[in-house]
């Protein structure tokens, strides 16, 4: 039984999509089910994905913009546009990706959830993997994705009170002139 089948039979209806890229298996689950899915993968005796090697956020907004711009150009080049291009439906802006490793079988798995911009909240997996504490804080710091049930959700890299989420693609690389000030207490 391949890893793909194993994962699919373990997660059952929780799986939204499965893809494989150069031998790396990636499973998408819905946002509500992430904790259930990870605990199933961890508990399953055959899979036992018991090691969280990383967790991070992704901002896909620029990617979606590019894919939206492409077909419009093509249509212009070939024929005169007959109808105005209808607005495309895109998946939610953010993703949170969990990289799992099984210490027993030495297999790796990527689990993905999509997070909408309006309500960027995901359940925290700290109760399953303690290693998720800092990566979740980092994702919160850089993308503004909040993790429900995280014991200590503070910024990790930027200072307290930093007014933006710097890895969002609409944030300029050089910043907006934020400075941290010296306060003697």
Partner 1 sequence: MGLKAYTGEGWLLTKMEELINWGRKRSPWPLPYGTACCGIEMMCALAASYDMARFGAERPSFSPRQADVLIEAGTISKKMAPILRRIYDQMAEPKWVIAMGACACTGGVFRTYSTLQGINRVIPVDVYVPGCPPRPESLLYALMKVMEKIEKDHPLRALFDREIGQVDLRSCP
- Binding positions for partner 1, rule: CB under 8 A: 157-159, 166, 171-176, 178-184
Shortest distance (Å) from residue 156 CB to partner 1: 11
- The C-alpha atoms of residue 50 and residue 139 are separated, in whole angstroms, by 21
Full strand arrangement of the beta sheet holding 24-29 = 15-21, 24-29, 108-115, 94-101, 51-59
Of 77 and 183, CB closest to partner 1: 183
Work out the end-to-end distance of the chain between its first and last CA atoms, rounded to an integer number of angstroms.
Answer: 63
Shortest distance (Å) from residue 153 CB to partner 1: 18
Of 6 and 57, CB closest to partner 1: 57
Residues 56-89 as b/e (b if ≥16 CB within 10 A, e otherwise) read: bbbbbeeeeeeeeeeeeeeeeeeeeeeeeeeeee
Of 77 and 182, CB closest to partner 1: 182
Who contacts 43 (Cβ-Cβ below 8 Å, separation ≥6)? none
Of 1 and 173, CB closest to partner 1: 173
What does DSSP assign to residue 87?
P
Shortest distance (Å) from residue 159 CB to partner 1: 5
Shortest distance (Å) from residue 137 CB to partner 1: 14
């Amino acid at each position: 039984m391949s890893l793909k089948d194993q994962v699919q039979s373990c997660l059952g209806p929780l799986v939204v999509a499965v893809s494989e890229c150069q031998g790396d298996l990636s499973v998408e689950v819905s946002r509500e089910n992430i904790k259930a899915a990870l605990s199933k993968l961890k508990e399953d005796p055959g899979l036992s994905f018991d090691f969280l090697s990383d967790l991070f956020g992704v901002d896909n907004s620029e990617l979606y913009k590019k894919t939206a711009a492409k077909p419009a150009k093509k249509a212009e080049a070939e024929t005169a546009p007959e109808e105005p291009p209808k607005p495309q439906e895109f998946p939610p802006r953010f993703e949170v990706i969990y990289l799992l490793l099984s210490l027993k079988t030495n297999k790796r798995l990527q689990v993905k959830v999509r997070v909408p911009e309006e309500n960027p909240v995901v359940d925290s997996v700290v109760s399953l993997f303690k290693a998720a504490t800092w990566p979740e804080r980092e994702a919160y710091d850089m993308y503004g994705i909040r993790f429900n049930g995280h014991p200590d959700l503070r910024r990790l890299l930027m200072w307290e009170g930093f007014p933006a989420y710097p890895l969002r693609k609409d944030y300029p690389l050089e910043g907006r002139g934020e400075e941290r000030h010296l306060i003697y207490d």
